[in-house]
Amino acid sequence: MGPTMTSPLVDPILHWYDEHARDLPWRRPEASPWSVLVSEFMLQQTPVVRVLPIHEAWLTRWPTPAALAAEASGEAVRAWGRLGYPRRALRLHAAATAITEEHGGEVPSEYDDLLALPGVGDYTAAAVAAFAYGRRQVVLDTNVRRVLARTVSGVEFPSRSVTRAERDLAADLLPADPPTAATWSVAVMELGALVCTADRPRCGGCPVAAACAWQAAGAPAYDGPPRPVQTYAGTDRQCRGRLLAVLRDTPGAVTRDRLDAAWDDVPQRERALASLLADGLVVRHDDGRYALP
């Protein structure tokens, strides 16, 4: 597809988004770039419904990067609540500190400046540049990759990691007008979240079903390497969560026996606590008590 050609996918998906986009606070016209950045950190591997109340509370307490940077990183971990993957809270605090010290408290608009922030990778940098500032960026999250794999490449799921061919395809599909390109990126993401889902896609409600290569091929089943299945119950991750919950719900430091009571498996508890200390999510005081950083 040449640079002057428009894919037949673009207009139908944009029109669908106009009618079906969810009203999310970080998408509203008045949303600040900081709101967008916070949402992108929180939405990593976490459903929107769980993020909404935490995002609202976060922006109420810390409406600017400087407000967050002025507090201890442990307060970010505490406010993260039960979103999971709490290292994201530490990284977001570090990003807020860098924004405050290096960018005058304003979330940068350029992709390279965003990418240089702690905890910000390619996807997050591109997403903030596009969604907060209307820049023309290739935005490839799980939902976007799945939609493009099905509609264009004719396969049920994309490869485990982003390929150069996949990135080139996404770039070719971007509308030339930067604001339209930014809307296109979020529209494809929304289609993947609501219609072209990983399990039980609603192809009957898809605006581009007639142009979908996967449907045209008879919707062949995925035949690549086994897709990872996440488990939680009984894992080190659950144990870490239990230990953090004790610290999060208790002001100040706690004694070791409080942590011991949170998980029965001693070797697993020791391993989980050691990893929390190594990650900087927990600190041990000189008197032997434990606390958030």
Q: Cα(209)–Cα(72) distance, rounded to whole angstroms?
A: 50
Q: Cα(95)–Cα(124) distance, rounded to whole angstroms?
A: 12
Torsion angle (degrees, nearest 10) of CA 176, 182, 183, 186? 130
Determine the 3-state secondary structure of 45 from DSSP.
coil
Torsion angle (degrees, nearest 10) of CA 244, 248, 251, 252? 40
Q: Cα(139)–Cα(182) distance, rounded to whole angstroms?
A: 9
* Amino acid found at 131: F
Determine which helix (DSSP H) or strand (DSSP E) holds 10, and give its type and residue range.
helix 10-20
Q: Cα(192)–Cα(245) distance, rounded to whole angstroms?
A: 33
Determine the 3-state secondary structure of 191 from DSSP.
helix
Give, as one character, the DSSP assignment of residue 290: E
Residues with catalytic annotation?
40
The residue among 60, 45, 89 whose CA lies nearest residue 244 is: 89
Give yes or no for a contact between 17 and 27, defined as CB atoms under 8 angstroms apart: no
Long-range (24+ apart) CB contacts under 8 A made by 225-232 are 225/160, 227/157
